[in-house]
Chains A and B, each alone.
Chain A
């Protein structure tokens, strides 16, 4: 609270982060969504934040891209979107690592979910659950941005069908996700450009997303 006081007195823009844990103290998807809404409201009403950064996380897998955590994020965002003009963001933690199709599909699923449920900002991506050194790159952010831009304005019923298809492509790999590559192994570090291998993986993911109904 001391840090918030400092930012408030300095007139800074305050982004307040909170990540409800599905399967933790709150319980199941509905209870976790209720706690998520309550905590988002508290961030604005008690602590004066300007924008809230969410991130429902799965207690078993440690990611935001599972069916349950996407459902919690979407329902909580839609509930606040219907009743308020609050600025809502969400952050990205994938199971798979960079330079893998699974990682890009996980990102696309969440970007579509966040966009269609009315969020104002998407923040990521912490690939490999955000815990492995150097396993994050700009290409994952490219997918997040391109998937979000494509999903903006689509009918929700259509979006739900697309999401079912995308998630179906990766949900069976939760227990053995591809580890992927470090930034320095899938980028030309000197020229700051993805390797040909990563470009090919990205194009394969775009092709799969197209078959799922998301034509980026």
Chain B
């Protein structure tokens, strides 16, 4: 069925507001496990001992099981306690608009993250960093430099600054904002210190 347009975040918010009210424990303990089990049975999804599937038919069935799971289940908004409904056609229309390529970084350090197909001989983009792990303020910049100076690393992902000016970066306080901005400055500084100022962060 033809859909009028792909959804964006504003359309999705409006759908949440108009969505069906559901208790969070019902969603967690009944809706998700029941629907996931039903999709497993309907699409005959069963993994063997292989880590990576070698059977394209299984991968195809898993895709359709996931697609149908989203369409029959919807998406839960814990703040509103409501469920957004979406059709398979809307999901497929939505993913059509997703980029096949994005560019990260600037100048000499700019890299293209492009769609790979199967195990392409083109390696994935390497994003190095503590990935949200806590890091002391006094070693934050040196630690980020340790990633930036690795030639195999293309772009950076930050850690979490444990304190800012010696003050704990507590969530939902002004210190959190200060710490977040300080993190960005430290990461930029680390890129510059190793001669890669244009690295994507």
Contacts and interface: CB of A to CB of B under 8 A. Distances in A.
Interface of A: 1, 4-5, 8, 13, 25-27, 29-42, 44-51, 67, 70-71, 74-76, 78-87, 89, 91-93, 113-128, 130-139, 141-142, 144-146, 148-149, 151-157, 159-160, 163-164, 167, 183-184, 187, 189, 192, 194
Given A81-B117, A113-B51, A30 B69 contact: no
Interface centre among B9, B84, B99, B135 (most CB of A within 10 A): B9
B69 A38 contact: yes
A195 B195 CA distance: 22
B51 A44 contact: no
Q: Is the interface of A mostly helix, strand, loop or mixed?
A: helix
Contacts of A142: 150, 152-153
Contacts of A149: 123, 152
Interface of B: 6-10, 12-13, 16, 28-29, 32-33, 36-37, 39-40, 45-47, 50-54, 56, 58-60, 62-63, 65-67, 69-70, 73, 75, 84, 86, 90-95, 97-102, 104, 113-136, 139, 142-143, 145-150, 152-153, 157, 159, 162, 194
B63 A83 contact: yes
A123 B113 contact: no
Given A45-B6, A133-B136, 7 more contacts: A27-B37, A33-B62, A45-B86, A81-B116, A120-B114, A126-B132, A134-B139
Contact of A138 (B58, B99, B153): B153
Contact of A141 (B60, B92, B125, B126): B126
Contact of B53 (A78, A137, A154): A78
Contacts of B117: 81, 118
Contact of B147 (A84, A141, A153): A141
A49 B28 CA distance: 24
Contacts of B45: 30, 33-34
A139 B124 CA distance: 18
A130 B127 contact: no
Contact of B98 (A87, A152, A164, A184): A87
A46 B94 contact: yes
B164 to A, nearest CB: 15
